[in-house]
A and B are shown apart, each in its own frame.
Chain A
């Protein structure tokens, strides 16, 4: 059971913990005033990582070895100097790559001490084997001809936002790419295949709609106990695979909406997943002004609307892809929003406690 929720926001990193008589409250902060795009607590050695986006000054990575009391700036993933142009802009130009956002940060397996994976905009995957002291571009993916077909969704340039390491085999890695589908390596990143067959892109011309390489999974999550089952909150729907990504199935009749960014999967029950829906691509607002979480317990056949403790009118919160998380016990969830609200549930979403409704815009939450 996790007793601390880390919250990365537009203006700092916050620590949320339970307080006797007051419920869950913000109890500490780091990097106040700075844009924290992601946070990671490494379960192997308890190291804490914060990805910063300083705008003018670029992106940075910091590590803390004392639960956030002191931070040290470590190396930032960067493309090799002199790398030839290899990223297409929306204007059709091809430019030399430079990291503009750290969009995914995950630990390797328990058998890979020091290993970190980092996904960036514009579509680079980087590997560290020394806790972020140095990084190496994963060339096998960067040089893959399919990678050049990726394009931006929301951001001008494409990016890797989801990195899943198979708990059975640390050499098996799954990536979610906007927009570029789902990519799988079975050999520790030496080779890659696009595995998004069955996903459907309603934003493309009909003849390209089922093209695996242009899909926009907003977020991909796996079930710890059954890692071949993964869920994707996609740009225009919810998809599920039970064969490690070889085939995906669209979940239909999702009420009230299948649009959203985030997904969480119960660690022990592959049929149980949570989403924080918005109205649609064109209306990125909560349905009917009510903040809701939807939950399926039957693999997507039916969805419950969870709203106890959540605002039921005039709410305009949107939850980004990294801003929903479930703890390792499967009982605790937390989610934050672009309008600075943060809620915690201790009962799988049946009820929610408002931690704050005046934080900076929330980019990511993570139980630790």
Chain B
């Protein structure tokens, strides 16, 4: 099982409580979250399925490398954090 959590800024717009699920890659973990809340997909990924430019995903403190495919592996006990870049305005 891996732990998946989302930034509070995201929770303002779409329900995304912390999750615990089975996954071998970041993509699989996110798909598990999208299955529970379909609207969440569009908040994290663009039309082509790539991680949005100003979103970031960390696995055990390390930023994912494959922002288009999200094929970065995860292992049992991994903690995946979905956060967003800071901005002004």
In the docked arrangement, what's the CA distance between A57 and B89, Å? 15
Tell me the residues in window 18-62 of chain B with beta carbons closer than 8 Å to chain A beta carbons: 39, 42-44, 46-50, 52, 54-55
The digit string for A74-94, where 1 denotes a CB below 8 A from any CB of B, is: 001011111100000000000
In the docked arrangement, what's the CA distance between A56 and B88, Å? 12
Residues of B within 8 A of A99 (CB): 47
Q: Is A1 at the interface (CB under 8 A from chain B)?
A: no
Residues of A within 8 A of B49 (CB): 81
Residues of A within 8 A of B13 (CB): 34, 54, 57, 60
Residues of B within 8 A of A83 (CB): 47-48
Q: How large is the interface on B (under 10, 10 to 19, 20 to 34, 35 or more residues)?
A: 20 to 34
> Which of the residues A58, A76, A79, A96 comes within 8 Å of B52, measured between beta carbons?
A58
Q: Is A315 at the interface (CB under 8 A from chain B)?
A: no
Select from chain B the residue with minimum beta-carbon distance to A76: B42
> Which of the residues A10, A56, A60, A80 comes within 8 Å of B42, measured between beta carbons?
A60
> Which of the residues A34, A56, A60, A97 comes within 8 Å of B54, measured between beta carbons?
A56
Answer whether A81 and B47 are a contact pair too, CB < 8 Å, given A55-B87, A56-B84.
Answer: yes
Residues of B within 8 A of A96 (CB): 47-48
In the docked arrangement, what's the CA distance between A80 and B49, Å? 10
In the docked arrangement, what's the CA distance between A34 and B43, Å? 14
Task: Contact check, B47 vs A57: say whether CB atoms are below 8 A apart.
Answer: no
Q: Per DSSP, are chain A's interface residues mostly helix, strand or loop, or mixed?
A: loop
Q: Is A98 at the interface (CB under 8 A from chain B)?
A: yes
- Within the complex, the shortest CB–CB distance from A293 to chain B, in Å, comes to 29
Q: Per DSSP, are chain B's interface residues mostly helix, strand or loop, or mixed?
A: loop
Task: Contact check, B54 vs A78: say whether CB atoms are below 8 A apart.
Answer: no
Select from chain B the residue with minimum beta-carbon distance to A78: B47
Interface size on A, residues (CB 8 A): 20
In the docked arrangement, what's the CA distance between A55 and B89, Å? 11
* A residues at B contact (CB < 8 Å): 10, 34, 54-58, 60, 73, 76, 78-83, 96-99
In the docked arrangement, what's the CA distance between A122 and B48, Å? 14
Question: What's the count of A-B pairs with C-beta under 8 Å?
Answer: 50
> Which of the residues A34, A54, A73, A79 comes within 8 Å of B47, measured between beta carbons?
A79
Task: Contact check, B10 vs A97: say whether CB atoms are below 8 A apart.
Answer: no
- A sample of 26 cross-chain residue pairs with beta-carbon separation below 8 angstroms, ordered by A number, consists of A10-B89, A34-B13, A54-B43, A55-B87, A56-B84, A56-B85, A57-B42, A57-B43, A57-B44, A58-B42, A58-B43, A60-B13, A60-B42, A78-B47, A79-B47, A79-B48, A80-B47, A81-B47, A81-B48, A81-B49, A82-B48, A83-B48, A96-B48, A97-B48, A98-B50, A99-B47
In the docked arrangement, what's the CA distance between A143 and B47, Å? 18
Select from chain B the residue with minimum beta-carbon distance to A85: B48
Task: Contact check, B48 vs A57: say whether CB atoms are below 8 A apart.
Answer: no
- Within the complex, the shortest CB–CB distance from A120 to chain B, in Å, comes to 10
Task: Contact check, A56 vs B48: say whether CB atoms are below 8 A apart.
Answer: no
In the docked arrangement, what's the CA distance between A73 and B10, Å? 15
Residues of B within 8 A of A57 (CB): 10, 13, 42-44, 52, 55, 84
8 closest Cβ pairs, A-B complex = A98-B47, A56-B54, A98-B46, A57-B43, A78-B47, A79-B47, A56-B84, A96-B48
Residues of A within 8 A of B9 (CB): 56
Select from chain B the residue with minimum beta-carbon distance to A100: B46
Select from chain B the residue with minimum beta-carbon distance to A59: B42
- Within the complex, the shortest CB–CB distance from A181 to chain B, in Å, comes to 25
Task: Contact check, B87 vs A56: say whether CB atoms are below 8 A apart.
Answer: yes
Residues of B within 8 A of A60 (CB): 13, 42
